[in-house]
Amino acid sequence: MSQTDVPLYDPNMLRPIDFSALAGPGDDGHAPRILLLYGSLRPQSYSRAVAEEGARILRALGCETKFFDPTGLPLPDGAPDSHPKVQELRELALWSEGMVWSSPERHGAMTGVIKTQIDWIPLSAIGGVRPTQGKTLALIQVSGGSQSFNSVNQMRILGRWMRMITIPNQSSLPKAWLEFENGRMKPSPFYNRVVDVMEELARFTVMTRGRKEMLVDRYSERVETAEELHKRVSLKDI
């Protein structure tokens, strides 16, 4: 086992999740699919490093994880939807059943890097499927100074806007540069919180996948759909 794969959690305390007890009727039991997004392009990116720690924990819990590298992603409206990086991001969003958003705090807010990724994921349907609606979301913030919750608070609002199910727990890592050594997080209460968040994300993802139509079915959208259908039928009669 390489140094980058050595688990930092206590294997005796990281309890296996009984997915069968959480899953809904008809669930085929496949590994929860989690997409991780991070908000910095720096070679030494702590938002990416803590997301990588989260991914190690998720895999230990039986999840499948994928990352999107935002390098080369154009600004929103700065390129057509057919841009290869935009297509890659949207395909990963469709593949996922849950997400982790990990952002630094920059000038008191989440970074433009993470916001750009989210802005390229449409609320409207792609091939009849809305990429984020009804999917789970976990939030992580890293800071260079004292502990803050500005980025996670903003991302929580954004997750609601994207019609996602944001889990209650979250992680905010102050003075991130002190919490890493040789590219790995040091064992600490901050690391334990990351484990808590990933456990909760895995559970919520299994509990809610396959139930999206039930959980996010909205009266206002049903009314709007009925009105649009009436308009189309009326136009055909003209």
For residue 192, give both structure tokens. 């334990």
The string of pLDDT tens digits covering residues 115-145 is 999 999 987 777 656 789 899 999 999 988 8
Which domain, by its residues, includes 28? 3-237
The string of pLDDT tens digits covering residues 150-165 is 999 999 999 999 999 9
Is residue 1 scored above 50 in pLDDT?
no
Residues 6+ apart with CB under 8 A from 127: 94
What would the mean pLDDT of 186-207 be, rounded to a whole number?
95
Is residue 176 scored above 50 in pLDDT?
yes
**pLDDT tier at 223, thresholds 50, 70, 90:** confident
- Please give the Cα distance from 1 to 185 (Å, whole number): 17
Q: Is the pTM of this model over 0.75?
A: yes
Work out how many domains the chain is built from and give that number.
Answer: 1
Instruction: Please report, as a single letter, which amino acid is at residue 158.
Output: L
Q: What CATH number has the domain bearing residue 216?
A: 3.40.50.360
Which whole-number Å values give the CA distances from 220 to 11, 132, 217, 226, 232, in the listed order?
47, 18, 9, 10, 19
